[in-house]
Amino acid sequence: MKTVSDYFGSMVFDDRVMKAMLTEKVYSSLKKTIDEGLPLDESVAEAVAMAMRDWAVSKGATHFTHWFQPLTGITAEKHDSFITPSPDGGVIMEFSGKELIKGEPDASSFPSGGLRATFEARGYTAWDPTSYAFIKGKTLCIPTAFCSYGGEALDKKTPLLRSMEALNKQALRILKLFGNNDVKYVRTSVGPEQEYFLITKEMYDKRPDLRFTGRTLYGAMPPKGQQMDDHYFGVIKPRVAAYMEELNDELWKLGILAKTEHNEVAPAQHELAPIYSTTNVATDHNQLMMEIMQKVASKHGLVCLLHEKPFAGVNGSGKHNNWSMATNTGINLLSPGDTPYENAQFLLFLCAVIKAVDDYQDLLRISVATAGNDHRLGANEAPPAVISMFVGDDLNAVLEAIEKDKPYKETIDKMMKLGVDVLPAFRKDATDRNRTSPFAFTGNKFEFRMLGSSNSIACANIMLNAAVAESLKIYADRLEKAKDFETELHKMIKKTIKDHKRIIFNGNGYDDAWIKEATEVRGLSNYRTTPDAIPHILDKKNMDMLTAHKVFSETEIRSRCEITLENYCKTVLIEANTMVKMAQKQIAPAISKYTATLAETIKVKKEVDKTIACGYEKGVLKKLSAYNDNIITKSEELREALIKSEEIEDVIKQSAVIRDKIIPMMGELRAYADQAEVITEKSYWPYPTYGDILFSVR
Ligand code: ADP
Ligand code: MG
C-alpha cells in the first residue's frame, strides 16, 4: 500500500523535482530567484520550462495555464495545450521559457475598477517562481501575478508579494540593529484554518437561494440547532469521513499540508487546517483548497458551502489567519527568546504589531469586508466589527510594568532572565487562550479571526504586512539615529504601550458592554458594514502608508475601493432578486394552495355539521392569509426598490442605499415567510427546511 509520504506533493514541481531535473547551475540560479528575489536569467527560464514540460507530460498533462487570482476573489486559468505540429504530420510537446515567464490573457472581463478600459483589454500574467507549479487534472498550472498593460496590479498576488517585501525590508533593518547580520530575509508565515458546511446535493438543488447566492435567504429554525453543542468535535459521520479522506489525498498530492480536521459548532459545519507556510504559498494553497473542497464534495453527492453565513441562527464560517514573521535562519520573531537581547527584540516586534493594529484598525477591518462577512462580524459567534487585541495576562503584566516603570511581579517559577537592563523578565509560555478576540496572541503567532470563510486570505495579509512594515520603519528610523540604542529602545517600547494600549483588550469580545467601552471610551472604530468600512481605504493616512511602502499605487487603491463596493452591491442585489422570485413564484402560491385546502376542509366539515367550530383551520387560514398578503406587498416593494437602486451610478451611494434600504426590506420579507413556513403543512412548503438541510448528511 502506498503511504502518504510516497505521494505527498506528487503533482508539484517542487524542490525535490527541480533538484533532480535541473543542472546544478540552473537549479542554484533559480533558487536564488526564489529565495532572494534576484532577477531570472532567460536561459534559466528556458531550462526550467523544458524540465517542467517533461515532468508534466510524464504525469499525463496535455495543457498548461497561467494560474492567477483576479479581483473576483477566485482563481482564473486559460488553458493552452503543449502541442506544436511537426513536419511529419504529427505533433511534438513544446513549452518555452517565454511561455513560462509571461502570458497575455484577454482580460477584458475581469474587474479592474476603471484601471483598464475595455478597448485596452490586454493584461499580463507573470510567473511567480516563489510558488511551485502544479498539475491539476491534465493541466500544468503556473502560479502567476496579473497586471494591466500599464503595470498596475489587477490581482491579489502582486500587492501581497509587495507587502511581504516591504515587511522584509524594514524587519531586516531592525534585525541589523540587534546584531543579526547573518539574516538574509524575513518572511511572514500563515496557517489559515478553514471552516465550511457540507450538505447533500439533493437538498442544495432544491433551493434556488443556495444555488444562486450560496446562502439560504429564507428558512425558519428547526427545533434543534446548535443548542446542545453536541456537534463540536463530535464523532465524524462515515459519509463526511469518506469525504475528508479523499479531500486530504487530493490536497496532499498538491503538496498542501492538510493537517487538522474536526466538526465545528453548527450542525453540518466542519473545519480543515493546514500546517502553516510562507504567506504567498499559503494564499495559493488556500485558494486551491477551497476549489478542491468543492470538487471532491460533488463526487460524494455533497455540496461544500463556503459562504460566511449559509444559515441564519446557527454559526457562520470564518477563516482564522495565524500569522507570524520568521527569518531565513529559522527564528520566529514573535517567539520570546531565551536571552535578554532576544527578549528585547521580541518585545519590539510585538510592539510593532500592537502599533500596526491600532494605527490601521480600519485597514484590517476593510480587508475582511464583504457582503457575506457582514452577517458574521458582530453576530454572537464571530468577533465584533471592532478590532482589538488579546495578549494574555502574562504579557499584559509585562507591558504594564514597562509602561509604569514598576517592577514586574513574578508569580510563576519558569521566568525568563531579565531583559536589556531596564526591561522586566517575563514568562516564556503564555498559555491562556481567548476565543472571542479578533486578533489574539497565541504564544508565538497572532491569530486574526475576522476573515470570512470564502475570502482570499491575500487581502488581510496585505494590510497586516504593510501596517507592520510601517511600525518597523518608524522604529528603525529612530533607532538607527539613536546615540544610546538601549535607552532609545526602551523609550520606544514604552511609548508604544502608552500610545496604543487602548487596542489591547483581554476580556470577552462578544460582550455588548465591550463594544460600548471600545467605541465610547477608547475611541476604537466600529465599521459595522462593508459600505461603512470600504471608503476609508481612501483616507489620507491609509493612502500615504500603502503608497509609501509601494504596496499599492494611488490608482490601484481607488480601483480596489470601487471593485469591493461593486462586489458588495452585486452580491446583495442578486440575493434580493432571488428573494423576490422565490416569494412571488413559489412561496406565495404555495401558501395560497395550502389556505385553499384549509378553506375546503372548513367547508366540508361545516357540511357535515354546522356546529363544528373549525378553530384550527380558521386560525391558521387567517394567519397565513395575512402573512401572504404581506409577503406579496413586501416583495413588490423590494422589487421596485431594487430597480431604483440598480440605476444609481455612484457605487458609494449605491452601497449606502443597499445597506439602509434594501437589506432591511429583505429582512422584513423574510420574517413573514419564515413565520408562514412554521404553520404551513410540510408537504406544501416548496423548499427543504433548515432541519432537512442541516441534518441531511448522515
Ligand atoms: P489552534 O488555533 O486550534 O490552537 P494551532 O495553534 O495548532 O491550532 O494552529 C493553528 C494554525 O496555526 C495551524 O495552521 C498552524 O500550522 C498555524 N501555526 C502554528 N505556528 C505558526 C506560526 N509560527 N506562524 C503561522 N502559523 C502558525
Ligand atoms: Mg485557532
- Ligand 1 atom closest to the Cα of residue 335 is 23
- Ligand 1 atom closest to the Cα of residue 442 is 6
Chain centroid to CA 649 = 29
- Region 659-663: mean pLDDT is 97
What pLDDT is recorded for position 231?
Answer: 73
Does 332 sit in the ligand 1 pocket, CB within 6 Å?
yes
Bridge partners of 84, per DSSP, are 92
- Ligand 1 atom closest to the Cα of residue 191 is 14
Cα of 469 from ligand 1 centre, angstroms: 22
Binning pLDDT at 50, 70 and 90, where does residue 228 land?
low
What pLDDT is recorded for position 398?
Answer: 83
pLDDT digits (tens, 9 = 90+) for 434-447: 778 999 999 899 99
For residue 306, pLDDT over 90 is answered with: yes
Chain centroid to CA 282 = 12
Does 278 sit in the ligand 1 pocket, CB within 6 Å?
no
For residue 412, pLDDT over 80 is answered with: no
For residue 341, pLDDT over 70 is answered with: no
Q: How far apart are CA 290 and CA 286, in angstroms?
A: 6
| Ligand 1 pocket: which of 276, 332, 353, 390 to mutate (most atoms within 8 A of CB) | 276
Does 275 sit in the ligand 1 pocket, CB within 6 Å?
yes
Does 552 sit in the ligand 1 pocket, CB within 6 Å?
no
Domains and CATH numbers, the chain: 4-155 (3.10.20.70), 164-552 (3.30.590.10), 567-688 (1.20.120.1560)
> What interhelical angle do 458-481 and 485-500 show, nearest 10?
140
pLDDT digits (tens, 9 = 90+) for 18-56: 999 999 999 999 998 888 878 888 899 999 999 999 999
> What interhelical angle do 663-679 and 554-581 show, nearest 10?
30
**Ligand closest to CA 442:** 1
Does 190 sit in the ligand 1 pocket, CB within 6 Å?
yes
The residue contributing the CA closest to ligand 1 atom 17 is: 191
Of 173-182, 225-234, 365-374, 407-416, the one with minimum mean pLDDT is: 407-416
Does 276 sit in the ligand 1 pocket, CB within 6 Å?
yes
- Ligand 1 atom closest to the Cα of residue 433 is 4
Does 189 sit in the ligand 1 pocket, CB within 6 Å?
yes
What pLDDT is recorded for position 414?
Answer: 41
Strand, coil or helix: 46? helix
Of 83-97, 275-289, 419-433, 582-596, the one with minimum mean pLDDT is: 419-433
Does 335 sit in the ligand 1 pocket, CB within 6 Å?
no
Of 32-36, 82-86, 213-217, 612-616, the one with minimum mean pLDDT is: 32-36
Does 576 sit in the ligand 1 pocket, CB within 6 Å?
no
Please answer whether residues 327 and 206 qualify as being in contact, where contact means their C-beta atoms are separated by less than 8 angstroms.
Answer: no
Of 121-125, 179-183, 512-516, the one with minimum mean pLDDT is: 121-125
- Region 387-416: mean pLDDT is 73
For residue 421, pLDDT over 60 is answered with: no
- The burial class, CB within 10 Å (0-12 / 13-18 / 19+), for 279 is buried
Tell the residue number behind the cell numbers 540552473, with chain if given.
26
Does 352 sit in the ligand 1 pocket, CB within 6 Å?
no
Tell the residue number behind the cell numbers 500603502, with chain if given.
546
Cα of 425 from ligand 2 centre, angstroms: 27
Residue from 590, 573, 576 nearest 670 by CA? 576
- Region 270-274: mean pLDDT is 96
Q: How far apart are CA 547 and CA 560, in angstroms?
A: 14
Q: Would you tell me how many other CB atoms lie within 10 Å of the CB of residue 152?
A: 18
Q: How high is the mean pLDDT of the chain?
A: 91
The residue contributing the CA closest to ligand 1 atom 4 is: 442
Share of the chain above pLDDT 70, in %: 93
Q: How far apart are CA 251 and CA 277, in angstroms?
A: 14
Q: HEC string of 551-597?
A: CCCHHHHHHHHHHHHHHHHHHHHHHHHHHHHHHHHHHHHHHHHHHHH
**Ligand closest to CA 189:** 1
Please answer whether residues 77 and 144 qualify as being in contact, where contact means their C-beta atoms are separated by less than 8 angstroms.
Answer: no
| Ligand 1 pocket: which of 257, 390, 445, 464 to mutate (most atoms within 8 A of CB) | 445
Cα of 191 from ligand 1 centre, angstroms: 6
What pLDDT is recorded for position 111?
Answer: 77
What pLDDT is recorded for position 116?
Answer: 56
- Region 530-549: mean pLDDT is 98
What pLDDT is recorded for position 418?
Answer: 37
Q: Which residues contact 509 (CB under 8 A, 6 or more apart)?
A: 383, 384, 386, 388, 390, 434, 436, 437, 438
pLDDT digits (tens, 9 = 90+) for 582-593: 999 999 999 999
Q: How far apart are CA 166 and CA 1, in angstroms?
A: 47
Does 319 sit in the ligand 1 pocket, CB within 6 Å?
no
Alpha helices in 442-587 (DSSP H): 458-481, 485-500, 512-516, 530-533, 540-548, 554-581
pLDDT digits (tens, 9 = 90+) for 486-515: 889 989 999 999 999 999 998 888 888 999
Model pTM score: 0.94
| Side-chain-side CA neighbours of residue 416 (13 Å) | 27
The residue contributing the CA closest to ligand 1 atom 16 is: 275
Residue type, 612: I
For residue 125, pLDDT over 50 is answered with: yes
Question: Which residues are found with C-beta within 5 Å of the ion, ligand 2?
Answer: 320
Binning pLDDT at 50, 70 and 90, where does residue 410 land?
low
For residue 141, pLDDT over 80 is answered with: yes
Q: How far apart are CA 276 and CA 337, in angstroms?
A: 21
What pLDDT is recorded for position 424?
Answer: 54
Binning pLDDT at 50, 70 and 90, where does residue 422 land?
very low
Binning pLDDT at 50, 70 and 90, where does residue 73 land?
confident
Of 7-11, 27-31, 221-225, the one with minimum mean pLDDT is: 221-225
What pLDDT is recorded for position 124?
Answer: 86
pLDDT digits (tens, 9 = 90+) for 257-266: 999 988 888 8
